[in-house]
């Protein structure tokens, strides 16, 4: 098998798994509650965000597509914060806070919205336990969920998305 075909097959397999994972989240209904610390040591739980439409973005500093989406998420946060929406990033770097801060410095990432520390990295046990109880599993990043004001999963996306995808969803949720 040629190296080119092998790479193509591997990329196709990974994308298929990611798409299937995103579909599972969309059918989950209510997002599982969790409590995680942000980079400043403040604890934030999903319950704290009730009453707001929420973009919940699972990402890592080593993930190129994740980094490319940050400017759009910053712009959405600035525009929609006063309208009753929130953007929250859950960083899944394996080394926790130290690796997240190191990666943010390395890639010169300026993030305006709260970044929570997904303890335990990509296979975050703290979040994974909550998610598993709700029938949810993250298989790839970035994975982004849009939650309605009651904490229900209104939409889910695996992979880098256009800003308009998120703003259209928020506009619908904020009209309700």
List pLDDT tens digits, range 45-55.
999 999 999 99
What is the spatial distance between Cα 174 and Cα 176, in angstroms, rounded to a whole number? 5
Please report the pLDDT score of residue 135 as a whole number.
57
Q: Give residue 68's pLDDT.
A: 98
Q: What is the DSSP letter of 36?
A: E
The predicted structure's pLDDT at residue 140: 81
Distance CA 162, CA 75 (A): 12
Indicate if the pLDDT at residue 114 is higher than 70.
yes
Any idea what the CATH number is for the domain that residue 14 is in?
3.40.30.10
Q: Where are the alpha helices (DSSP H) in the chain?
A: 3-26, 64-80, 96-106, 125-133, 163-175
Greatest mean pLDDT range, 17-26, 43-52, 74-83, 111-120: 74-83
Total structural domains within the chain:
1
Query: In whole numbers, what is the pLDDT of the chain averaged over residues?
Result: 81
More confident residue, 54 or 11: 54
Task: Compute the average pLDDT of residues 73-77.
Answer: 98
pLDDT at 155: 93
Q: Any bridge partners for residue 57, and if so which?
A: 89, 144
Domain of 43, in residue numbers? 3-175
């Amino acid at each position: 098998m040629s190296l080119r075909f092998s790479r193509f097959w591997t990329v196709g397999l990974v994308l298929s798994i990611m798409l299937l994972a995103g579909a599972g989240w969309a059918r989950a209904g209510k997002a599982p509650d969790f409590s995680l610390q942000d980079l400043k040591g403040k604890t934030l739980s999903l319950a704290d965000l009730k009453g707001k439409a929420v973009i919940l973005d699972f990402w890592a500093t080593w993930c190129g597509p994740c980094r490319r989406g940050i400017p759009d998420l910053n712009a959405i946060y600035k525009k929609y914060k006063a309208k009753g929406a929130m953007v929250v990033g859950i960083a899944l770097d394996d080394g926790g806070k130290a690796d997240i801060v190191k990666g943010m410095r390395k890639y010169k990432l300026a993030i305006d919205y709260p970044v929570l520390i997904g303890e335990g990295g990509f296979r975050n046990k703290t979040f994974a336990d909550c998610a598993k109880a709700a029938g949810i599993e993250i298989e790839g990043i970035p994975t982004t969920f849009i939650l309605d004001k009651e904490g229900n999963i209104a939409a889910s996306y695996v992979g880098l998305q256009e800003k308009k995808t998120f703003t259209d969803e928020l506009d619908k949720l904020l009209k309700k």
